[in-house]
């Protein structure tokens, strides 16, 4: 037991450090290439910090632990929203969560709600669609893949239009990290990504072995402990980005990771011999509904323009935090 705990702590520390490096080098890439913070946060960083989840969940599906894999993805969504709420509580946002530009991310948050709702719907309909498999993929995950591509295209074009409309307005620039060149930033980003890809599966395996000794079910463990483990890179990247005042990267990472979590389901479905969403526990519908409710609260916090908050008291973040705690507590009683 002590050896497993030590392995978990060492791997977790390495993943956190790599996540911080991802955010810092991503910030440099943003400035050197003139890419938007939303694009770097939502695609580059979110995609890289999601690689551990993909690797771990592919292994879980191959072992037949589909509930562990799907639970990790839904749980990771909850953990990402928890990260956002905690970050918001550490900053006085002056009207909206984290920054005045955060409303631009309401669209990506809306896309994430659409994807979560679709996944939850097809899990609920699972038994009725068990035999509906097309080229090793179920109808639910097939629709999820199409919706993800359509949503990404929508967000991308919306961002381009927004930048064109404000092209004559001065933009806030992020602090340059030393004299780091684009080449060094790309190399550093790649090395940090490689560390996460190699170490994160070891982290999840240590957590999995610890879970076996506790007797917790795959759905509950995947949505809680495993989700927290695989979300450490997201947490490190977001907090490092906020420290650098790179709010676009932080928010883009959060909502981009949630969307990517759902985009992983079609990949896992190809590996699963049956229809993935038809063979998992209906408890995941509960997790999905919790994510939808909490994300809606976050969107309201982003768009609400009237400032009535007091310093160190963020009601939108406090409500989101309370709902997340309630969601994890409720999951213990409905776990499958």
Return the pLDDT at 115: 94
pLDDT tens digits along 196-227:
878 877 877 777 777 677 666 667 767 787 78
As a whole number of angstroms, the distance between CA 166 and CA 170 comes to 8
Q: Are 192 and 25 in contact (CB under 8 A)?
A: yes
Phi then psi for residue 245, to 5 deg, are: 65, 25
Asked whether the whole model's pTM tops 0.75, one would answer: yes
Q: Is the Cβ–Cβ distance between 265 and 276 less than 8 Å?
A: yes
CATH architecture classification, 2-165+181-334 = Up-down Bundle (1.20)
Question: What tokens appear for 324 in the block?
Answer: 């997340």
Find all residues with CB under 8 Å of 243, minimum gap 6, and list them: none
Dist. CA 279–CA 216, nearest whole Å: 19
The larger pLDDT score, comparing residue 126 to residue 195, is at 195
CA-based nearest residue to 268, from 38, 54, 91: 54
User: pLDDT tens across 276-320, in order?
Assistant: 888 888 889 999 999 999 999 888 776 765 445 444 445 677 888
pLDDT computed for residue 290 by the predictor = 94
pLDDT surpassing 60 at residue 5? yes
If pLDDT is split at 50, 70 and 90, which confidence band does 113 have?
A: very high
Task: Name the one residue in this structure whose structure tokens are 């969560």.
Answer: 97
Domain boundaries, the chain: 2-165+181-334
pLDDT for the residue 178: 56
With contact defined as beta carbons under 8 Å apart, do 222 and 45 qualify?
no
Structure confidence by residue, pLDDT tens digits, 150-184: 987 887 666 655 555 444 444 444 444 557 777 88
Mean pLDDT computed over 246-267: 83
Number of helices (H) and strands (E) in the chain: give both, helices first.
14, 0
> What pLDDT does 233 receive?
75
Q: What is the CA radius of gyration of the chain?
A: 19
Helix (H) or strand (E) holding 322: helix 315-334
Residues of the chain above pLDDT 90, percent: 12
Cβ burial, residue 95 (10 Å; 0-12/13-18/19+)? middle
Q: Which of 82-91, 122-131, 299-308 has the lowest mean pLDDT?
A: 299-308
Side-chain half-sphere of 7: how many Cα atoms within 13 Å? 16
What length does the chain have?
336
pLDDT at 130 over 60: yes
Q: Which pair of structure tokens corresponds to residue 281?
A: 């526990």
> Average pLDDT, stretch 80-106?
67
CB atoms within 10 A of CB 245: 16
Mean pLDDT of the chain: 76
Q: For residue range 24-55, what is the model confidence (pLDDT) as tens digits? A: 777 677 666 655 555 555 566 666 667 777 87
Q: Which residue has the higher pLDDT, 335 or 15?
A: 15
Most confident of 78-87, 116-125, 304-313: 116-125
């Amino acid at each position: 037991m002590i050896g497993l705990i030590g392995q978990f702590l060492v791997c977790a520390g390495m993943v956190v450090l790599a996540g911080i490096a991802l955010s810092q080098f991503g910030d440099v890439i943003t400035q050197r290439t003139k890419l938007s913070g939303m694009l770097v946060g939502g695609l580059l960083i979110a995609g890289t910090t999601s690689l551990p989840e993909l690797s771990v969940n592919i292994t879980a599906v191959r072992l037949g632990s589909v509930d562990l894999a799907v639970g990790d993805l839904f749980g990771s969504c909850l953990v990402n929203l928890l990260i956002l709420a905690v970050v918001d509580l550490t900053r006085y946002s002056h009207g909206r969560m984290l920054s005045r530009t955060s409303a631009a991310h309401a669209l990506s948050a809306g896309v994430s709600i659409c994807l979560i709702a679709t996944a939850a719907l097809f899990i609920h309909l699972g038994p009725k669609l068990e035999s509906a498999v097309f080229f090793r993929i179920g109808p639910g995950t097939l629709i999820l893949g199409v919706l993800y591509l359509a949503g990404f295209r929508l967000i991308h074009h919306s961002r381009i239009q927004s930048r064109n409309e404000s092209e004559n307005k001065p933009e806030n620039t992020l602090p340059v990290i030393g004299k780091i060149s684009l080449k060094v930033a790309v190399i550093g980003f790649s090395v940090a990504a490689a560390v996460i890809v190699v170490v994160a599966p070891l982290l999840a395996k240590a957590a999995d072995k610890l879970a076996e000794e506790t007797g917790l079910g795959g759905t509950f463990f995947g949505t809680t402990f495993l989700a927290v483990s695989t979300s450490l890179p997201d947490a490190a990247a977001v907090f490092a980005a906020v420290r650098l005042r790179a709010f676009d990267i932080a928010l883009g990472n959060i909502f981009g990771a949630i969307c990517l979590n759902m985009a992983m389901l079609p990949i896992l479905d190809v590996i699963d011999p049956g229809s993935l969403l038809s063979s998992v526990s209906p408890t995941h519908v509960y997790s999905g509904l919790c994510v939808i409710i909490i994300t809606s609260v976050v969107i309201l916090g982003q768009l609400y323009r009237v400032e009535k908050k007091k310093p160190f008291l963020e009601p939108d973040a406090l409500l989101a935090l309370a709902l997340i705690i309630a969601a994890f507590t409720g999951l213990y009683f409905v776990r499958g």
